[in-house]
Amino acid sequence: MTMLSRIQFALTVGFHFVFVPLSIGLILFTAIMETLYVRTGDPKYKTLTKFWGRLFTINFLLGVVTGVAMEFQFGTNWSRYSEFMGDIFGSPLAVEALMAFFLESTMLGIWIFGWNKLSKKMHLLAGWLVAIGTHLSAVWIIVANGFMQNPVGYVLRNNRAELVNFWEVLFNPYAWYTYVHTIFACYSVGAFFVLAVAAYHLLRRRNVDMMKASLRIATVFAIIATLGNAITGHFNGQNVALRQPTKFAAMEGVWEGGQGVGFPLFAIPDSANERNAVEVGVIPGLTSFMAFNSTDAHVPGLKDFPVDERPPVGLTFWSFRVMVGLGVLMLVLAALAWWHNRKGTLMERTTLLKFLLWSIPIPYIATNLGWMVAEVGRQPWTVYGLITTADSVSPVALADVVISLGLVVIFYAILVGLDIYLLVRYAKAGPEAMDERQAAVAD
Amino acid sequence: MSHEVLQVIWFALWGLLWAIYFGLDGFDLGSGMLAGIFRKDEEQRHLIGALAPIWDGNEVWVITAGGVTFAAFPKLYATMFSSLYVPLFLILFGLMFRAVAIEFYHHMDYDRAWQRIWGWVLSVASLIVALLFGVAFGNIFQGMLLDAQGYHGTILSLLNPYGLLTGVLFVVAFLMNGATWLAHKAPDDGLRAKAHTFAARIWPVVLVVAAGWLVYTPFATNLMGNFLKVPVLFLVPALAVVMLVLTWVYLQKGNHLFSLLAGSLTVGLTVIAGVIGLFPNMFPSKLDPAYSLTAFNSSSSQYTLQFMFIVVLVFLPFVLLYQVWAYKLFGRKGTGSEVEHY
């Protein structure tokens, strides 16, 4: 039962987290394009704004509907959690709706359909308000999640967690480390999406002028995002070490706690025997140093905690490792693209362009792995140290969950299929085709 | 403010949010259903074009109503959503398919066959959402099979005569409002006349269903109690009836915008009347009133209610301001083809 609800929730959030990062990354990119258009008056940027904007809108909608699904599931599948936590968890969600959703959705309607109804500057303002709305929306959802990771500003009263200090919840350090890290991740998804589409056109020598303009900005965007991710990732990790020792130990595969814990270059954790089956090239003191800035700092190991309070080690460990590896790969790709574009040799580097084209899934995988580290690493708790996942689930009929899970799977498969189909179609058609199409519709 | 005062304020806000949601989204759910009736290529394109810029803003009200329920009445949220698991999942899929249909309708304007499919999806999904929301509220008005062990009903027990009648009331009222919106936005006389005729034909149906619902309600529910205690409250349902009459009057005058406003107010006021009748219950138990969830036994702490109240006071005016702006941009008469400006 708990497992089914977990699978359902993981699927819902996982898909949500496929659509949302691209939305956040792309809307910022689109808003920058439109700003360039308003400032330079160059019609090329208007075409690009519409091109990237359409790809954004296709994707944005799916972020919204999968988001509604999440809100519903807190009540339908996790009612005991909702009852225990609603006093605190509901507020950021309600504020998100009031402050961000209305802004995004109203302004998006105005932005899409207002090209001929608004002045250039007002239209640009609507676009930026959509971008601000998506960023604000992420703030509130991560603030809500931050409480689950690191509960603050509450007391236990009346059999539930009650809010006593909203500001403490809002300024929860855990939430803000995660927020900045997540936003950079969203930018890398957006940037690599643009790079891939641009590479596709450049490989075919189509729309070269416009795609080079997009690529130039996207490479800078990608470098800032991936570097930002590495830096914020480090601080995020230190914060985890401080506040969620079990998650940190699982991420790093530390079984025996102690002072001056070393960092293995390669390891394979073995949960059954509570050790790492393989450990190669251990650098003394490095794990301690990464966690607490001191080579002989004390790092608790998994064995310091009861078995039933440890997260699934393998999943957390590997998700973390692969995420970091993909981050490094993205940084290298972005830097190479930037360098060759600057030297003017990018068009000849077809292998690099092909790499960029096929790198589209990389940031998606990396962001979803990051989310796995955060959420799986928190298990068995729903709210760290307060309520377990097993105690959070709704007392609803098993059959209902089975059926709804089946429907979720079928429906999301259709959604993803259509999303990819449309994105590919419009991305391949390119910006000029959109201009022609628009002229055809207007006739 | 004391906890009790805040609980009453939040109860009122909860009712108001649902009323605004059904008042606004009602007419675009209605337009959505009409996509299955106005099927000719041009008609359907104008209909969905009229819907496209505004549906999203309208639908955020339901997310807000849900979020506010979660924040202010977590116990209600938990019980309501897990008790109504199946209908809520159907509503959820309806809302999702509807959104996808509207959006993909114009992203796939290169292929008429796909657009026809999306037209049907929009129509059926809108019908499911309207009907099931009506059924859910009808059942809440009536009381739920709730006791110490939790909720005992199934989707079949929800489909009782009163629940279904409320569902039908929602459907026909929304269809009426959808038709007046379409008549207002229709870019040519042909479509306007067709939508007008549809609205004029469904109005008497709404009147009959609403009359039947009003007569049935005192027998099926305990909603009358509060009205009999404070008779001045009868003004609210009376006003709803007046608005329904005005819908007809403005329709006859050919003022479709005012007809829509009156129709939306009919819907909103009906919901408010129902919520007034419920007070202080929010999810009453039919089995034993002791297990009813009320504004007083299912709310958040005083601190949360107070804090959230300030948030609402600060942000709601902004929301209203820019939603009014959006309606000013896209609500103009005879401009039903916004899709072309994509």
**Each residue's pLDDT tens digit, A62-103:** 888 888 888 788 778 888 888 888 888 888 888 888 888 888
Asked casually if ipTM beats, i.e. exceeds, 0.85, the reply is no
Which DSSP helix (H) or strand (E) runs through B234? none
* Mean pLDDT value across chain B: 89
Which DSSP helix (H) or strand (E) runs through A442? helix A398-442
Q: DSSP characters for A313-366?
A: HHHHHHHHHHHHHHHHHHHHHHHHHHHHHHHT-GGG-HHHHHHHHHTTHHHHHH
Lowest model confidence (mean pLDDT) among A343-347, B87-91, B230-234 = A343-347
B104 touches chain A (CB under 8 A): yes
Q: Are A302 and A274 in contact (CB under 8 A)?
A: yes
Q: B217-246 pLDDT, tens per residue? A: 999 888 899 999 999 999 999 999 999 999
Which residue of chain B comes nearest to A118, CA vs CA? B329
Strands A154-157 vs A263-270: parallel, antiparallel or unpaired:
unpaired
Lowest model confidence (mean pLDDT) among A58-62, A133-137, A215-219, A263-267 = A263-267
B66 touches chain A (CB under 8 A): yes
Averaged over A334-348, what is the pLDDT? 84
Give exposure, B229-254, as e/b (b: 16+ Cβ within 10 Å): eeeebeebbebbbebbebbbebbeee
Q: Which of 224-263 (B) contact A at CB < 8 A?
A: none
Q: Do A65 and B99 touch (CB under 8 A)?
A: yes
Q: Do A395 and B60 touch (CB under 8 A)?
A: no
Share of chain A above pLDDT 70, in %: 97
Cα A237 to the center of its chain, rounded Å:
16
Note the pLDDT of residue A437: 56
CB-CB neighbors (< 8 A) of B149 in chain A: none
Note the pLDDT of residue B229: 93
Note the pLDDT of residue A442: 40
Q: Which of 13-52 (B) contact A at CB < 8 A?
A: 52
Q: Which of 17-76 (A) contact B at CB < 8 A?
A: 54, 57-58, 61-62, 64-65, 68-69, 71-72, 74-76
Q: Are A264 and A299 in contact (CB under 8 A)?
A: no
Averaged over B101-125, what is the pLDDT? 89
Note the pLDDT of residue A238: 86
Note the pLDDT of residue A438: 56
Cα A131 to the center of its chain, rounded Å:
16
Note the pLDDT of residue A296: 82
A99 touches chain B (CB under 8 A): yes
CB-CB neighbors (< 8 A) of A166 in chain B: 303, 307
Averaged over B293-308, what is the pLDDT? 89
Does the pTM of the predicted model rise above 0.90?
no
A156 touches chain B (CB under 8 A): no
B54 touches chain A (CB under 8 A): yes
Residue A277 in this model has a pLDDT that exceeds 80: no
Q: According to DSSP H, which parts of chain B are helical?
A: 3-34, 41-51, 55-72, 74-83, 85-107, 112-142, 155-158, 161-185, 189-220, 224-229, 235-253, 256-278, 302-330
Averaged over A400-424, what is the pLDDT? 85
Strands A387-388 vs A275-283: parallel, antiparallel or unpaired:
unpaired
